[in-house]
Amino acid sequence: MSSVAVFSKASPFDALQRWLPKLVLAPSMFIVLVGFYGYILWTFLLSFTNSTFLPTYKWVGLAQYARLFDNDRWWVASKNLAVFGGMFIGITLVIGVLLAVFLDQRIRREGFIRTIYLYPMALSMIVTGTAWKWLLNPGMGLDKLLRDWGWEGFRLDWLIDPDRVVYCLVIAAVWQASGFIMAMFLAGLRGVDQSIIRAAQIDGASMPSIYWKVVLPSLRPVFFSAVMILAHIAIKSFDLVAAMTAGGPGYSSDLPAMFMYSFTFSRGQMGMGSASAILMLGAILAIIVPYLYSELRTKRHD
């Protein structure tokens, strides 16, 4: 589209009209260049300095990254992210797909059921964390409920068990996000060409195998988007940890986002905190660059 052709006579009004779109976009361009890219660069620079409570610009090379890799807490946080992210993505996908497939079977009250599955997504992670912290309370939460209901030997004290506390984060995060994944897949299922399914049915294939072999493989792009979104949520997870465990017991449930926050803002380790932020950015880039690349490529083929 070209806006030039229309304005053959360049009166002041026309000139203004030609500049208006650029003027309107200018503040946002400034904000994006400075507030996004400039600030990333700034943080990147800080990660090469020995800044503690205040920024200082004394160059120390890769020393902060070396300290980070020597830091046991960072390794715990990274390992937790792998466990949390893997389980969260896997379980959420399975539940989301299953519920979507089941809901796609001419279910009565489908709208109502969908609304229930999706409501956790409207809540703050802090509210979710608060609720699940209470539900998983050792001695008073589900722990007690199931014993009261007659399961005498039931024990659920993961919240205070350093080896299992990460699973608590997984449970709460799955509860919050699985309805959303269900909604994504349901929308995908509604777009599947019905004639393919009818043909498979005439061939005598059973419904489960039609779904497994025909329908779900055709939803590969939805899988791709879902994994990307969930991985993105996992890497950014901060509120949930803050509300549920604050990283504890000890630092056994730390995630990188929590690590970054506490080292940068509570412990006065600005340099190392910045280094951890840059590594988080790297993780995000490793996920979205292939995604955006494939998105743009398929767009061009259309």
Range 100-139, binding other proteins (CB under 8 A):
102-107, 113, 115-128, 130-135
Question: Would you count residue 249 as binding other proteins (CB under 8 A)?
Answer: no
Which residues in the 11-30 window bind other proteins by CB under 8 A?
Answer: 13, 17, 20-22, 24-25, 27-29
| Single residue of 257, 269, 272, 275 touching other proteins by CB under 8 A | 257
Nearer to other proteins, 75 or 294 (CB): 294
Name the one range near other proteins by CB under 8 A: 59-67, 73-81, 150-158, 241-249: 241-249
Helix, strand, coil percentages for the chain (3-state, nearest 5): 75, 0, 25
Name the one range near other proteins by CB under 8 A: 60-68, 81-89, 158-166, 253-261: 253-261
Beta carbon of residue 162, minimum distance to other proteins (angstroms, whole number): 18
Let me know: does 260 contact 71? Beta carbons within 8 Å: no
DSSP line for 25-92:
HHHHHHHIIIIIIIHHHHHHHHTTB--SSS----B-TTHHHHHHHH-HHHHHHHHHHHHHHHHHHHHH
Name the one range near other proteins by CB under 8 A: 33-41, 66-74, 81-89, 154-162: 33-41
Question: Would you count residue 73 as binding other proteins (CB under 8 A)?
Answer: no
Q: Residue 82 pairs with which residues in a beta bridge?
A: none
Question: Would you count residue 9 as binding other proteins (CB under 8 A)?
Answer: no
Question: Would you count residue 164 as binding other proteins (CB under 8 A)?
Answer: no
Which residues in the 183-222 window bind other proteins by CB under 8 A?
Answer: 183-184, 187, 189-190, 192, 194, 197, 201, 207, 210-211, 215
What's the rounded Cα separation, in Å, for the pair 105 and 46? 55
Q: Residue 59 pairs with which residues in a beta bridge?
A: 49
Name the one range near other proteins by CB under 8 A: 1-9, 68-76, 86-94, 162-170: 1-9
Let me know: does 3 contact 21? Beta carbons within 8 Å: yes
Nearer to other proteins, 87 or 210 (CB): 210
What's the rounded Cα separation, in Å, for the pair 67 and 49? 12
Strand runs labelled E in the chain: none
Query: Is the Cα torsion angle 134, 137, 143, 145 positive or negative in sign?
Result: negative
Name the one range near other proteins by CB under 8 A: 57-65, 67-75, 76-84, 293-301: 293-301
φ and ψ at 14, to 5 degrees? Answer: -65, -40
DSSP assignment letter at 214: I
Question: Would you count residue 58 as binding other proteins (CB under 8 A)?
Answer: no
CA distances (Å), 252 to each of 66, 71, 81, 128, 225, in order?
22, 14, 11, 20, 30
What's the rounded Cα separation, in Å, for the pair 53 and 263? 10
Number of residues that bind other proteins (CB under 8 A): 106
For tokens 């025909």, name the residue. Answer: 214
Which residues in the 83-102 window bind other proteins by CB under 8 A?
Answer: 98-99, 102
Which residues in the 140-159 window bind other proteins by CB under 8 A?
Answer: 140-142, 144-145, 148
| Single residue of 65, 165, 179, 252 touching other proteins by CB under 8 A | 179
Nearer to other proteins, 76 or 243 (CB): 243
Beta carbon of residue 79, minimum distance to other proteins (angstroms, whole number): 19
